[in-house]
Chains A and B, each alone.
Chain A
Amino acid sequence: MRLRQVQPSLSCLQVGSMNPDSTSAPASGEERVLRGVAAAPGIAIGRAFILDHGSSVRESVTVSVHHVADEIARFHGALEAVLEALHRASDLAARQSTTAMAIIETYTMMVRDPTMSDSVLQRIERGVSAEAAVAQEFDMHKTALLRTQNELMRSRVQDIDTIKEQIIGALRNRTLHHAAGYDSIVVAPNVTPQDMLLFQQTQTLGYVTEVGGINSHTCILARDLNYPAVVGIGTATQLIPQDANIIVDGYSGTVVVHPTPETLEHYRQKQIRAEEYREKLGALVQKESTTTDGVRIQLLANVDEPDHVDAALMTGAEGIGLVRSETMLMHFGRYPTEDEQVAWYRDIAERMYPHPVTIRAFDVGGDKFRQGIPHHEENPALGLRGIRFLLHRSDLFEQQVLAILRASVHRNIRLLLPMISTLEEVAAARSVIAAAQQTLHRRGLPFDEQLAVGVMIETPASAMMADAFAEVADFLSIGTNDLAQYALAADRTNDMVADLYDAFHPAVLRMLVMVVESARKFHRRVSVCGELAGHAAATELLIGLGISELSVAPRLLLEVKQRVLACSHAQCAQMVRELGSCKTTSEVYHVLRTMVPTS
Chain B
Amino acid sequence: MIEQTVRVVNRAGLHTRPAAMVVKLASAFVSDIYLVRDGFQINAKSIIGVMTLAAEQGSTLGLLVEGPDEAQASAALVELFAGGFDES
Contact = CB atoms under 8 A, between A and B. Distances in A.
Interface of A: 102-103, 105-106, 109-110, 113-116, 138, 141, 144-145, 148, 150, 152-154, 156, 159-160
Contacts, number: 62
Contacts of A150: 13, 54, 56
Given A102-B17, A106-B16, A115-B43, A160 B54 contact: no
A105 B42 CA distance: 21
Interface string B14-49: 011101100110000000000000000011011111
Q: How large is the interface on B (under 10, 10 to 19, 20 to 34, 35 or more residues)?
A: 20 to 34
Interface of B: 12-13, 15-17, 19-20, 23-24, 42-43, 45-49, 51-52, 54, 56
Given A102-B17, A105-B20, A109-B23, A153 B56 contact: yes
A156 B45 contact: no
Given A116-B48, A148-B56, A152-B12, 14 more contacts: A106-B17, A109-B23, A113-B47, A113-B48, A113-B49, A115-B46, A115-B48, A141-B48, A152-B15, A153-B15, A153-B56, A156-B16, A160-B48, A160-B51
Contacts of A159: 16, 51
A106 B17 CA distance: 8
A156 B54 CA distance: 9
Given A109-B20, A156-B15, A159-B16, A144 B52 contact: yes
B32 to A, nearest CB: 11
26 contacts: A103-B16, A105-B20, A106-B16, A106-B20, A106-B47, A109-B24, A113-B46, A114-B46, A115-B43, A115-B46, A115-B49, A116-B48, A141-B52, A144-B52, A144-B54, A145-B52, A152-B12, A152-B13, A153-B13, A153-B15, A153-B51, A154-B54, A156-B54, A159-B16, A159-B51, A160-B48
Contacts of B19: 106
A362 to B, nearest CB: 40
B52 A110 contact: no
Contact of A115 (B17, B42, B54, B56): B42
B26 to A, nearest CB: 11
Main secondary structure of the interface of A (DSSP, over half): helix
Nearest to B16: A106
A496 B54 CA distance: 53
Nearest to A102: B17
Contacts of B13: 150, 152-153
Nearest to B47: A109
B62 to A, nearest CB: 17
A113 B47 CA distance: 6
Nearest to B44: A115
Contact of B45 (A115, A144, A153): A115
Contacts of B49: 113, 115
A114 B19 CA distance: 15
